[in-house]
Amino acid sequence: MKVCKLISLIIFILFLGLFYACSQNTNKETTIKFWAMGSEAEYVTKLVPEFEKRNPGIKVKVQAVPWNAAQEKLITAFASDNTPDACQLGNTWVPQFSSLNAIINLDDFIAESKVIRKENYFPGIWDTNVIDSAVYGIPWYVDTRLMFYRTDIFERAGYKQPPKSWDELYDLCKKIKA
């Protein structure tokens, strides 16, 4: 758990540091708006004091956004030119926000990073953040999703093994529904 917290803190610091590095005004305090989705906002809020301690002159304002409203809220924020400086983003949304030019190419920032390296991530999760060979997101975490099914229902439909193709799945669904 401590390793996970440390990695999260490092990624959080690097991610926010990317945006701070772009700031032109170094004489004043800088405030970074960070939107965190779902319960992650509570965890990120706990990381802020350490980040601010390590980075004097930078304040982080975390806003919790429910997952069920996040995509619409981000699109509305982009349309009204009121986006956060950094946010957690569902990786399946990367193509949409990239096509809107609502997120930036992070290749130059990643090249400067001493920590963020493609080879440190599972290829599949890294690739969900790549559009036309450019990286638009840094994986925050990975979860595993599994499909469970009732073997007795499959067997009644004539399937002793799970379907191996979309056609078999479609056939199975028709048989179960019949």
Domain shared by 82 and 109, yes or no: yes
140 domain residue, yes or no: no
Q: Do residue 73 and residue 117 come from a single domain? A: yes
User: Residue 37 pairs with which residues in a beta bridge?
Assistant: 65
- The string of DSSP letters for 10-76 reads HHHHHHHHHHHHT-S--SS-EEEEEEEETTHHHHHHHHHHHHHHHSTTEEEEEEEE-HHHHHHHHHH
Q: What is the mean pLDDT of residues 151-158?
A: 96
Mark whether 27 and 98 lie in a shared domain. yes
Same domain, 111 and 159: no
Residue 156: how many other CB atoms lie within 10 Å: 11
- Within a domain: residue 58? yes
- 114 shares its domain with 152: no
Range of the domain at 79: 2-135
Q: Is the dihedral of CA 62, 7, 58, 76 positive or negative?
A: negative
- Over residues 108-147, the pLDDT tens digits come to 999 999 999 999 999 988 999 999 999 999 998 777 778 8
Pair (103, 25) in one structural domain: yes
Residue range 96-116, pLDDT digits in tens? 999 999 999 999 999 999 999
3-state DSSP call for residue 166?
helix
Cβ atoms within 10 Å, residue 56? 7
Cα distance between the two ends of the chain: 48
Helix (H) or strand (E) holding 134: strand 134-135
pTM above 0.85, yes or no: no
DSSP 144: -
